[in-house]
Chains A and B, each alone.
Chain A
Amino acid sequence: MKRQLILISVLVSASVVTSVSASEEESFGKWVMSISRTKEVKAVNNELYAEECGACHYAYPPGLLPIQSWEKLLDAKALEDHFGENAELDEADLASLQKYVYANSAEKSYYKRARKITRSISEGEAPLRITEVKYIKRKHHELTEEMVKGNKDVSSLSNCNACHTQAEKGIFDDDTVNIPNFGEWDD
């Protein structure tokens, strides 16, 4: 009887812990309570960001770059020449996006990959491309030219979601990788 009670209480508390969604990262308490705290990157949970940035490319979770990078990217003047494209935004929208992104940049995140990204960037460094972040580079060094650049369904390392099937959820685990024309990634 006693053993049963213990079992039930363990199951109940486990379900409580796991039910704390990965998208909630408001407080340290919630983070501690969440099993997913040690994993991945916080998924995008801002409608304006998903719509405005996602209109042209995969909406990169803010936790993939540190604030000093985002500050350079989300500058009104810089957006007029955003990697060769004009991505101008009106003042109000830009201010709103800056607020969201700066509050969720890598160095502020508890998520494992965000922390690793932060650690891999030396002080004073502000990479403008996620593909220039040392941690990201290291993670992709085994890929061949044919898998990425020469692969018409990928074409660039910046198209995260071409291979990372769960990228929209901020999940970049090996098990979720499927390279078009090459198949699942087997480490």
Chain B
Amino acid sequence: MLRKIASTLIIFFLIPQWVYAESAAKELQSLYATQGADAYSAKTGGSKWKREVASKNGDNRSCSTCHTADLRQSGKHIKTKKVIQPMAFSVNKDRYTKTKKIEKWLKRNCKWTWGRECTAQEKGDFLEYLLAQ
């Protein structure tokens, strides 16, 4: 019995972090489905990623303004100049380990970029796009 528990625990810890990582993003996608989102599309997410919206400061902003269009590369905040680590799931799985963190940044960045919160569908599409990169 003890051996069984021990081996289960060992296997549990051997599962790489990214397995949980993806599940945090997937968990949110399921949540968005209960909030009215339909099937997610990476393609839609990708085109929305580049969609520019005029800000109240007069500049045009899209996700790629700071993150660039190549998500495997680091980005740079246009104003603060902070280097932003890559967004692509394939090169930066750590980004997708916590639902709370994903939600926090989706909320902040949708408001900063588009001037409003994103809908459940939009957030789900973005995640689908980011996970596919």
- Cβ-defined partner of A86 (8 Å) among B57, B80, B82, B111: B111
Against A, the Cβ 8 Å flags (1 = close, 0 = not) of B60-89 are: 000000000000000000011110000000
B93 at the A interface (CB under 8 A): no
Interface size, chain B (Cβ < 8 Å): 12
A73 at the B interface (CB under 8 A): no
> Interface range on chain A: under 10, 10 to 19, 20 to 34, or 35 or more?
10 to 19
Q: Are A84 and B79 in contact (CB under 8 A)?
A: yes
Q: Are B108 and A155 in contact (CB under 8 A)?
A: no
A168 at the B interface (CB under 8 A): no
Q: What residues on B are CB-neighbors of A86 within 8 Å?
A: 107-109, 111-112
Q: What residues on B are CB-neighbors of A85 within 8 Å?
A: 79-80, 112
Q: How many A-B residue pairs have CB under 8 A?
A: 24
Q: What residues on A are CB-neighbors of B80 within 8 Å?
A: 56-57, 85
B3 at the A interface (CB under 8 A): no
A71 at the B interface (CB under 8 A): no
Would you call the interface of chain A mostly helix, strand, loop, or mixed? loop
- Cβ-defined partner of A88 (8 Å) among B79, B82, B100, B107: B107
Q: Which residue of A lies closest to B100 (CB)?
A: A90
24 A-B residue pairs with CB within 8 Å:
A56-B80, A56-B82, A57-B80, A57-B82, A80-B111, A84-B57, A84-B79, A85-B79, A85-B80, A85-B112, A86-B107, A86-B108, A86-B109, A86-B111, A86-B112, A87-B108, A88-B104, A88-B107, A88-B108, A88-B111, A89-B104, A90-B100, A90-B104, A155-B81
- Chain A, 63-87, CB within 8 A of any chain B CB: 80, 84-87
CB distance from A169 to the nearest CB of B (A): 21
Which 9 A/B pairs are nearest by Cβ-Cβ distance? Answer: A86-B108, A86-B112, A86-B111, A88-B108, A155-B81, A56-B82, A84-B79, A88-B107, A85-B112
- Chain B, 97-133, CB within 8 A of any chain A CB: 100, 104, 107-109, 111-112
**Assembly CA distance A86 to B80 (angstroms):** 12
Q: Which residue of B lies closest to A52 (CB)?
A: B104
**Assembly CA distance A56 to B80 (angstroms):** 8
Q: Which residue of A lies closest to B82 (CB)?
A: A56
CB distance from A137 to the nearest CB of B (A): 22
Q: What residues on A are CB-neighbors of B109 within 8 Å?
A: 86
